[in-house]
Each structure stands twice: as structure tokens, then as C-alpha cells.
Amino acid sequence: MNISLNTTSLNRRRFLGVLGVGASVSALTACGISGETAFGTGAQGGPIIVGSADFPESQIIAEIYAAALNQRGISAETRPAIGAREAYIGALQEGSVGVVPDYSGNLLLYFDAQSTAVTAEEIIAALPQALGETLAALKPSTAENKDSMVITSQTAEEFGLRSLDDLSEHNRQLVLGAPPEFAERGYGLPGLEKNYGFTPQSFEPINDGGGPLTVKALLDDQVQIVDLFSTDPAIIANDLVVLEDPKNNFLPQQVLPVINGELVSYAAAQVLDEVSAVLTTEDLIALNTRVSGEEKANPATAAQDWVAENL
């Protein structure tokens, strides 16, 4: 719905590409010469290149996009761990990759720091204009990876907490642990105070970005509320409760594919839409657990298993 391109001519080019250039690319690759060195950007006629940011979850999603495209007969390969958003959006704009997975809220703020969109719908509606001519955001999935306030199931039961709205009745009773910037950022203590009228008993800075120290402090009851990413495997592993955020204090961060419209055919976009229609936050937690947990599965393997099961 968000792509506006002349798909017929692209389809034909892609079709020819698959027959002709694509074949010679794979022949050259077999001889040890990669497609992109032989043909400049390579993506023009060869397989769709799916890039990713330099953290495991982004690589997993990129592998899912590539595996889904391949399963539907559209040749795709991945270019993992390109870097931070500046790097992979740059690669997308210059055409060295055709697709990257991204998160809706942060993607919008990257292009429009002044944006006032707060709900998931407003963000998706604001994206086409912010992204400009070359880039387009495809349909978002329900999968989300964002800052979220997490408590233990015991705390949830004891204080009757399900949503951030319930916190105001327990002002100054609960200790909050989060990275130091949480004390000053708009979504942090100031946001909780403004949107939900909640002030913790104290704020304990823990500088490991929602890592094992934060989880241990929560499980030891040294703090009662922590800031974790919503796709953190620790949430399911420890039966933790994510407090609902009805007032969107934390900007929604839906996973969606961002494409360079000149490099991705309509058929390919439809396959990516298919992925987004079924990808959930729980799926991401399970995939993260396989890749970053004890199994240490290869992102590509975990992604292929997911595609085989879900598409």
C-alpha cells in the first residue's frame, strides 16, 4: 500500500534479470567472483540484497525476508551487519541493498526528528512523506521491539498491576532500575510522571542496557520495575509481565521492511507483506532465544525454520 512505483516495467526487468544476468552472476559467484564486484551494485539485475543492522535481531529478520523471497522463487541474499541506521539507510538509498528491516518509531524519528506522531497508526501514516521518493516502508508487522516497563509476576499479583495506568496508585512504593539516560530522556522518568502520574520510590541506574545485571536486580527484588526490550528472551524465560502502555509513552516500534523502490518488484513486496502479516513479538523472542541463547543457532538457520513453519 505504501509503494508507488511502475511495477509492470520493473517486473519485466526483474524477469529478464533472473533469466540472463542472474544466471551469469551465479556462474561468476561459483568461480569465486561475487556479483556486486562484477556488476557494480549487483542488485540491479541480480538477486535482491537484504541488508541488516549490526545486532542479532535485525540479522534474523533480514534472513527471514531473504528465506521467504527464495521460498517464493524470488532470488535473494543477505548482507548482514552493515552497521547503525546511518549506514544501512545510506546503503539502501545508494542501492547497494534493496531491503532492510527496521522499527517504525525510530525510523520515523531518523528522518523527521520533529515528528509528533505517537500512535502506531500515526507513525505508519507519517512514514511515506518522511521517507521521500526513493525509499518506501512496506506493511508493518505486529512484532515490536521497544523499551517496555517489566515487572515480575509476583509484583504484578501483589500490587494488581497490568498497565502503566495502574502505577499511580503505588507512587513512591516501587524502585525502578534502568540505564542512566532513563532519568532524563522524554520517555523515561519525565514521561512516566507526565503520562501516568507515577514517581518511583527511587531510581537505580544500571548501565548494562537491560542486560543480565538488570534482570538479576529484578529477580532479586532489589528493584521492582525495569526497562527491558520487548523482545528480550528473559521476559518469557522468567515469566515476567510487560506493563501495557495505553498512552504510548514509549514510541511504537513495529518491525517493517524498508525498500528501495527501484530495486524491489511488486511480487517481492507482496512476499514481504506476507511475512509481516504473520510475524509476532513472540516469534522474535523465540528466534532471539535460539540465536542469542544457549543454542547459539545461526540466524539463517533459525530464520529458515521460521519460514518453513509459518509461510
Residues that bind another protein (CB under 8 A): 177, 179-181, 183-185, 204-208, 212-213, 216-217, 220, 222-223
Q: Write down the least CB distance from residue 296 to another protein, Å.
A: 20
Strand extents, DSSP E, the chain: 48-53, 76-83, 99-103, 135-137, 147-152, 175-178, 202-205, 225-229, 240-242, 255-260
Nearer to another protein, 204 or 274 (CB): 204
Place of cell 516469534: 283
One-letter identity of residue 208: D
Q: Write down the least CB distance from residue 249 to another protein, Å.
A: 18
Q: Write down the least CB distance from residue 57 to another protein, Å.
A: 22
Determine phi and psi for 203, rounding to 5 degrees.
-110, 125
Q: Ramachandran region of residue 172, left (φ > 0), alpha (ψ -120 to 50) or beta?
A: left
Strand partners, 78: 50
Strands, sheet with 225-229, edge to edge from the N-terminal-most edge strand: 202-205, 175-178, 225-229, 147-152, 240-242
Q: Write down the least CB distance from residue 250 to another protein, Å.
A: 17
Nearer to another protein, 168 or 222 (CB): 222
Q: Write down the least CB distance from residue 212 to another protein, Å.
A: 6
CA angle 241, 247, 249 (to 5 degrees): 75
Distance CA 104, CA 11 (A): 28
The x, y and z cell numbers of residue 104, run together, are 517504525
Nearer to another protein, 163 or 207 (CB): 207
Q: Write down the least CB distance from residue 218 to another protein, Å.
A: 10
Nearer to another protein, 177 or 261 (CB): 177
Nearer to another protein, 186 or 246 (CB): 186
Nearer to another protein, 184 or 309 (CB): 184
